[in-house]
Structure 1
């Protein structure tokens, strides 16, 4: 590795090398006819009954500003160790294609396109890596967060993931996605400001340790923050911390809106003892917040056990989608210059042609061709969102995405909503798509068979 400092890069050059080499070859060969690529998830991760479509809004922003600059060409040339003039055909390339996509917040299943891009082949190819990175990471995190919402069964959730996310940008995305599926707030100050969601936070154990006693720490914090406060009570002995917090709250006349936070240990048992102590002190309106390595499994267990916890703060495992941190997703060419194409590799066969998902009641889906008539009583899941490189409508809001999520979640079969051992709905395939797949398969087999 050469160079003594980090170099600035652009979104355009944040791509896999083969996207550049392929796009350049297409341009030199004059292959600029329209191509359609389909982005979909081959199979859901273990333990998932659904996915939440996410990442579309930043993906559209990326496509709208996509342009290969002179600096990008120079970066490509330097990386490929080629003369700049060899990469010159890429200069000025923009995205002026079309996108049909599943709106953010909708539930999707394996094999269903989250989006389809139709554009001149070099353009559609060059944006592949960035689109996959945006959509896959955000869909994975949104799906994990949505399961926490199910587990909490109506109790508020807050996002505490920033310090454990895979970088600040991922932290911003996680806060946005948690808000999309219904979290009540985030500890991420920048995200709270940008996305207009409540900023939520308490104090760290280091704050308590900096004072001579817990009581001094609690009183000092309340002096600086006279509104509702939340005291972290498990720095030393949790039961003693709860008693101290109760005494300070009563002395200062604080109660409604205040809370204590439990961050370690047997949260269920500690919450029961804390509730008893707070009630005995006349602080029945002081809430209990639990945090510390929680995700949907931990939250679900506490809820099922009847732990008297009023709200949950989840971080590391949710912001990183720890048990399923990636999706087996693909961005595959399905049509070029009006010719349907498909891949026949073992275990990675793709279906040809631009697609549509027809959704019936109870999220019973049919994957078909984009140009076929919808079955009666169904709606189209993929909508036109970009034409000529421009959005077809104003950017979507978190509120609208959340409403779509809540509607789909309410319609999701009960067995797919389960936290443990969910049963995932399996979309059916239309007769026309099945027929086209057989025709294209035979055409390829005839062309590539023995002796060809």
Structure 2
């Protein structure tokens, strides 16, 4: 499947129209999230690196043109202006791992209008999904309060590629490992896995299953102990580990039931068996809310494995994101629609320690020692530097999350951390809005109601 044709049809119809009308002047589009989802005090930017890879290789081929023509039920020659189109614009973006807030551009594209329009869908697709999952994953790291968190999302993610993305953004926000073997190898992160209940069921009993597993795996092992009776499973695991001389580095896994109560009983049994170094791993429908409850309840759990609910960002699976034109041919533009009004002009976001971010115009000077979040990452369709490694993004995420107000980091009922507009951006918004409202007054449109212009509305 072509990356170019993996798009919404209206991107093609608009880009073709622009080309036929000679509208090739530079256009700037801003990609941002209008409002944070319920239950979120912040977002973590993710998806930029794969998006840049896509833009760098973007080219409309003969086959793409034929596919576009088939979708439109038109002869391929009608779409000839699209043939060979590449992306040779500029991208300014927030590097992955940074915390972002509602209204702040994650990315701004400046390119000839047809190019900037045609890449909209793929950019939204890349950044929205990965930012949503990264944001939930980051909250799991917060909830775990220093305990390792492991990604178990692959089996129920929305396809293999989504599973890969979940593993990558998990590493990006601070996860310790992933069950996804391919992702672990490609990213250079630890792979983690134990055994399934079916494995235990395949043997005559738990002891036979545990001993066979230990024979096959000479290093530290983790035994799943709740296939039948959890307490008996813990005792069996302890006996096997003690008899084969395994201890430090080994673990038992709890996957169902009252995990807090079971973990306390398991810890007591392991300690009584002389195995204080054997860890307890918990899994089974966990997300930040469940992890937070277990941690606050003092459950003696050492590692949390999170899967489905995190991999699909279950409580907030979609972001209210937009990709809006903010400047065309040097002219600032904006949308006036009710509840969806945008701000005009190219932007910059300034981050100030201990104070709200400032969304400003690109050319403004930073207030004090504020940090510029948007950086030029692509110019003339080429990256301006090497690929950004997930390890660097991980460090940015840890720094930014730690700097957030406590209310924004809170797991239950967080208080969204909101940015403010600079005076210059606010003034430009007021001016452009006033010009548009004046331009579209009924008398300027030549439209009147029965009693004159004032009776129309």
Count residues in correspondence: 444
1:140 aligns with 2:140: no
How many Å apart are 1:447 and its aligned residue? 1.5
Deviations 1:66-110 (A, max 9, x none): 000000000001111100000111010000000000010000100
Determine the C-alpha separation between the residues in 1 that align with 2:190 and 2:242.
Answer: 27
How many Å apart are 1:377 and its aligned residue? 1.9
Partner of 2:109: 117
Q: What TM-score do the two structures reach when normalised by structure 2?
A: 0.97
How many Å apart are 1:363 and its aligned residue? 5.4
Uncovered stretches (5+) of structure 1, i.e. residues with no partner? 1-8
Deviations 1:23-62 (A, max 9, x none): 0000000000000000000000011010000000001001
1:182 aligns with 2:171: no
1:216 aligns with 2:204: no
1:68 aligns with 2:60: yes
SS in structure 2 opposite 1:100?
A: strand
1:338 aligns with 2:330: yes
Partner of 2:162: 170
SS in structure 2 opposite 1:43?
A: coil
Decide whether aligned partners of structure 1 residues 363 and 72 sit closer, same or farther in structure 2, where only a CA change above 3 A counts: farther
User: Which of 78, 85, 92 is equivalent to 2:77?
Assistant: 85
Determine the C-alpha separation between the residues in 2 that align with 1:378 and 1:244.
Answer: 58
How many Å apart are 1:415 and its aligned residue? 1.1
Partner of 2:276: 284
User: Which of 365, 375, 382 is equivalent to 2:367?
Assistant: 375
Determine the C-alpha separation between the residues in 2 that align with 1:223 and 1:377.
Answer: 59
User: Which of 8, 28, 32 is equivalent to 1:40?
Assistant: 32
Partner of 2:7: 15
- 1:232-311 pair list within 5 angstroms: 232-311=224-303
Determine the C-alpha separation between the residues in 1 that align with 2:78 and 2:89.
Answer: 25
SS in structure 1 opposite 2:170?
A: helix
SS in structure 2 opposite 1:13?
A: coil
> Contact between 1:231 and 1:261, CA under 8 Å: does it hold in 2?
yes
How many Å apart are 1:376 and its aligned residue? 1.4
C-alpha RMSD over aligned residues: 0.6
Partner of 2:428: 436
Determine the C-alpha separation between the residues in 2 that align with 1:271 and 1:423.
Answer: 32
Decide whether aligned partners of structure 1 residues 426 and 106 sit closer, same or farther in structure 2, where only a CA change above 3 A counts: same
Determine the C-alpha separation between the residues in 2 that align with 1:132 and 1:362.
Answer: 30
Q: Which moved more, 1:203-212 or 1:362-371?
A: 362-371
Decide whether aligned partners of structure 1 residues 137 and 249 sit closer, same or farther in structure 2, where only a CA change above 3 A counts: same
1:152 aligns with 2:131: no
User: Which of 196, 209, 224 is equivalent to 1:204?
Assistant: 196
Partner of 1:5: none
1:417 aligns with 2:409: yes
Determine the C-alpha separation between the residues in 1 that align with 2:368 and 2:136.
Answer: 33
Determine the C-alpha separation between the residues in 1 that align with 2:41 and 2:373.
Answer: 18
Determine the C-alpha separation between the residues in 1 that align with 2:170 and 2:419.
Answer: 27
Partner of 1:400: 392
Partner of 2:308: 316
Determine the C-alpha separation between the residues in 2 that align with 1:362 and 1:72.
Answer: 49
Determine the C-alpha separation between the residues in 1 that align with 2:435 and 2:414.
Answer: 39
Determine the C-alpha separation between the residues in 1 that align with 2:441 and 2:182.
Answer: 58
How many Å apart are 1:362 and its aligned residue? 2.2
Partner of 1:447: 439
> Contact between 1:68 and 1:91, CA under 8 Å: does it hold in 2?
yes
SS in structure 2 opposite 1:115?
A: strand
How many Å apart are 1:364 and its aligned residue? 2.2
Deviations 1:283-339 (A, max 9, x none): 110000000000000000000000000010000000000000000000000000000
Determine the C-alpha separation between the residues in 1 that align with 2:145 and 2:314.
Answer: 21
> Contact between 1:363 and 1:411, CA under 8 Å: does it hold in 2?
no
Determine the C-alpha separation between the residues in 2 that align with 1:144 and 1:428.
Answer: 24
